[in-house]
Amino acid sequence: MKQKVYLNIGEAFFTSSHFEIRTILGSCVSVCLFQTDNGFSAINHILLPGSLDAKEEKQSLRYGITSMELMINEFVKHGIPRTQLKAKIFGGSQSNRLTTNKAGEKNIQFVKEFLSTEKIPILSQDIGGEQYRKLSFHTDSYDVFITKIQPNLVMEVQTQELHFESKVRERMVKKSSIFTF
């Protein structure tokens, strides 16, 4: 039986073992990276593409640029060139109730441009739209299962996402970082 890991906003997970990694995505985006020949895989949960504060950006995995670079560097440390990586991307929804910042669209655009620049192919994706997603990434098969959350549950998920975001902000104030590898 695979061990389950729950990924929160601003976290990443890298492994060569068999796990089921779960997360819930609204406007956030998760990128699953893997290399099938030796069984390494990684996933992140990106809140925003970057920050206006360069120091904060480099210290937090909630920013896409930091999270993506960290994940790719872990593969390289294990002798896996970035040219052998494959990606699957998920999330980036935009609720009609939260139309001000277009965070979902910005996250999707960032991830696609980043992967294109790194020449990492996107094998599959489920992005955009208005529904939130429950994601389950299986590191033994590289399969990703998505459950779309019904519109009547969106408010509950948005409340949870705001709670997670406030917890991330609290951690940043405490100057602690979470790196799961």
The correct CATH number of 3-173 out of 2.20.28.10, 3.30.1330.200, 3.40.50.720, 3.40.50.460 is 3.30.1330.200
Q: What local confidence, expressed as pLDDT, does residue 141 receive? A: 96
Establish how many alpha carbons lie within 13 A of residue 118's alpha carbon, considering only the half-sphere containing its beta carbon: 24
Q: What local confidence, expressed as pLDDT, does residue 178 receive? A: 45
Q: What local confidence, expressed as pLDDT, does residue 155 receive? A: 64
User: Tokens in use for 126?
Assistant: 């489920």
| Residues of the chain where predicted confidence (pLDDT) is lower than 50 | 175-181
Enter the pTM of the model: 0.81
Q: What local confidence, expressed as pLDDT, does residue 173 receive? A: 54
Q: Are residues 135 and 30 in contact, defined by beta-carbon separation less than 8 angstroms?
A: yes
Q: What local confidence, expressed as pLDDT, does residue 48 receive? A: 83
The domain locations on the chain are 3-173
First to last CA, the chain: 20
Q: What local confidence, expressed as pLDDT, does residue 160 receive? A: 67
Distance CA(87)–CA(110), nearest Å, equals: 14
